[in-house]
Amino acid sequence: MALRDEILPYVDGNDLVAPNPVSPGTLKGSDNGPMFTSEYFIMLLKLGQLIPSDTNDFQNRIGQCVNAAGMLCRVPASQDDGQEEVDDYYGVLNGCKQMENTSIPRTLLWSLIKHFGVMNNENPGQFQWRALMIRQPQLVACMVAAAFPSWKNPLHILARALCHPLFFYAAICTLIAGMTAPTSDTDTRRLSWHVWQCTKGVSLLCWLAGKVWLNRLYKQYGPTGMKAVAAIYYQPHPVNPFSKYWVTE
């Protein structure tokens, strides 16, 4: 079997991927469906298993979770399910970067600017600390990287150049991420992986920082890298497809 087949029991009624097998009739299988779904498409790409229809499939599955205000939601925007957090943003932005989808990250970036960094998907326009996404500059760097990824388009290069301090910050965050954290802290490694994957192709500093981070990752988790991280993260279900198919680099 391949990832595309093995992931089917993990897809919920919203067509989003869950961390555990989903019972028939379950509409929402996870609080982080957009992130897990993005990771699924990233792995298909890295494994060379993408098919032409995956581009639209990714857009449809993730796009349904972007509301009218241009903010990401945990579930399709038509469903009310609480304030979104940064982890889904990191996964989705990396997914967009890998899938060459600039539509979603540009929508998110414009919303971030329009709402002064407060991405309150429950009540757009109202301040809430949890919704203050600019509290993590590396997240904004990921938005810019995914929205303007080209090295051939002068406007893309200019946009990234203007945001150089954000990429410098993202590089520092990647460089020190997980330096003293125990191996049980898999959230730190997973989110750092998304930041590195999203920014390494548009920032030399982020690429270099990622090399240091990778060396530390392999020392901490062994030669399988992110597969070992996934096996711990998905306990008590270490047979989750991601722990089998995750491609570190």
The tally of domains found in the chain comes to 1
Instruction: Please report which confidence band the pLDDT of residue 238 belongs to, taking 50, 70 and 90 as the band edges.
Output: low
Read off the pLDDT of residues 9-46 as tens digits, 9 standing for 90 and up. Answer: 999 999 999 999 999 889 999 999 999 999 999 999 99
Q: Which residue has the higher pLDDT, 1 or 16?
A: 16
Read off the pLDDT of residues 159-178 as tens digits, 9 standing for 90 and up. Answer: 999 999 999 999 999 999 99
Q: Which domain holds residue 145?
A: 3-245
Whole-prediction pTM value?
A: 0.96
Instruction: Please report which confidence band the pLDDT of residue 231 belongs to, taking 50, 70 and 90 as the band edges.
Output: very high
Kindly state the average pLDDT of the residues 224-237: 90
170, HSE (Cβ side, Cα atoms, 13 Å): 36
Average pLDDT, the chain: 95
Determine the pLDDT at residue 226. Answer: 97
Question: Of all residues in the chain, what percent carry a pLDDT higher than 70?
Answer: 99
Instruction: Please report which confidence band the pLDDT of residue 192 belongs to, taking 50, 70 and 90 as the band edges.
Output: very high
Read off the pLDDT of residues 67-120 as tens digits, 9 standing for 90 and up. Answer: 999 999 999 998 878 899 999 999 999 999 999 999 999 999 999 999 999 999
Determine the pLDDT at residue 81. Answer: 80
Determine the pLDDT at residue 38. Answer: 98
